[in-house]
């Protein structure tokens, strides 16, 4: 027992010593502000990641036609534009393409832009100007897409015309996987019509 070591006593700090460990009010405020700013930055990073992911998940795809398609007479009846040659983009996320049938489909709902260009020639009419319509057609349901169409105009004494346009529209969940195609017609009578070129693209916005 004589050789037992007695533990050293730990001194108890005085009140004044404890007070030096308590942050001053201005320091507490700075620490709080730093904490809140850290929270804001964390949320900013989360929001940015969400936006980048959304951008990476955008759908786009399309068809480009460069070989002539002879369709003969064109009038009130609509004629399908088919036999495209290449894709308009190097990739086509969420879009399924069929060059031969001239169809597109998507597995992603949302707002899209229909981007179209068309170049045709025909036998001139030296008496009056004429017009025809180009429309988006739902092949699966065998119905035109409402409001997704535009008239193209051919002046008198002309042997051809070309135009391009963009139309916004929505693809609902019920339209996912359905086939869409461009058609021309629904206007005045044209003879010896050839489609010289066309583009047909969908871009998610």
Quick one: average pLDDT of 196-203?
A: 96
Q: Which of residues 32 and 182 earns the better pLDDT score?
A: 182
pLDDT the model gives residue 40: 66
Residue the block writes with tokens 């040659």: 85
Q: Quick one: tokens of 76? A: 């009130």
Q: Does 47 or 81 have the greater pLDDT score?
A: 81
Euclidean distance between CA atoms 137 and 103, whole angstroms: 9
Q: Average of pLDDT values for 64-87?
A: 96
* 96 has pLDDT over 90: yes
Of residues 131 and 21, which shows the higher confidence score?
A: 131
- For residue 135, what are the β-bridge partners? 149, 183
Q: Which of 30-39, 77-86, 98-107, 171-180 has the lowest mean pLDDT?
A: 30-39
162 in Cβ contact with 117 (< 8 Å): yes
Which is it for the CA torsion 75, 78, 83, 87, positive or negative?
positive
SS3 state of residue 171: strand
3-state percent helix, strand, coil for the chain, nearest multiple of 5: 20, 45, 35
Look up the CATH number of domain 60-204: 2.60.120.40
**What are the pLDDT digits (tens) for 108-162?**
999 999 999 999 999 998 878 899 999 999 999 999 999 999 999 998 889 999 9
Q: Is residue 72's pLDDT more than 70?
A: yes
Q: Of the candidates 105, 107, 108, which has an alpha carbon nearest to the alpha carbon of residue 145?
A: 105
Please indicate whether residue 205 or residue 36 has the higher confidence score (pLDDT).
205
pLDDT at 52 over 50: no
Phi, psi dihedral angles at 47 (to 5 degrees): -60, -40
pTM for the whole structure: 0.73
Phi, psi of 43 (to 5 degrees): -65, -35
Using DSSP bridges, classify how beta strands 130-138 and 143-154 pair: parallel, antiparallel or unpaired: antiparallel
- Distance, CA of 138 to CA of 118 (rounded, Å): 19
- Give the Cα separation of 101 and 155 in Å (integer): 31
CB 166 within 8 A of CB 114: yes
């Amino acid at each position: 027992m004589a050789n037992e070591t007695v533990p050293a006593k730990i001194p108890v700090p005085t009140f004044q010593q404890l007070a030096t460990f308590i942050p001053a009010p201005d320091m507490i405020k700075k620490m709080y502000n730093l904490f809140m700013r850290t929270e804001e930055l964390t949320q900013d990073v989360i929001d940015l990641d969400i936006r980048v992911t959304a951008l990476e998940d955008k759908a786009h795809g399309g068809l480009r036609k460069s070989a002539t398609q002879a369709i003969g007479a064109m009038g009130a009846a609509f004629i399908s534009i088919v036999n495209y040659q290449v894709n308009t983009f190097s990739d086509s996320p969420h879009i399924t393409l069929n060059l031969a049938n001239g169809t597109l489909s998507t597995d992603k709902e949302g707002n899209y832009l229909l981007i179209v260009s068309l170049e045709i020639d025909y036998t001139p009419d030296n008496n009056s100007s004429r017009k025809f319509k180009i429309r988006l057609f739902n092949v699966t349901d065998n119905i035109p897409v409402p409001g997704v169409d535009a008239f193209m105009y051919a002046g008198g004494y002309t042997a051809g015309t070309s135009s391009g346009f963009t139309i916004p529209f929505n693809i609902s969940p019920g339209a996912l996987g359905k086939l869409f195609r461009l058609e021309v017609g629904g206007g005045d009578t044209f003879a010896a019509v050839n489609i010289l070129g066309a583009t047909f693209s969908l871009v998610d916005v």
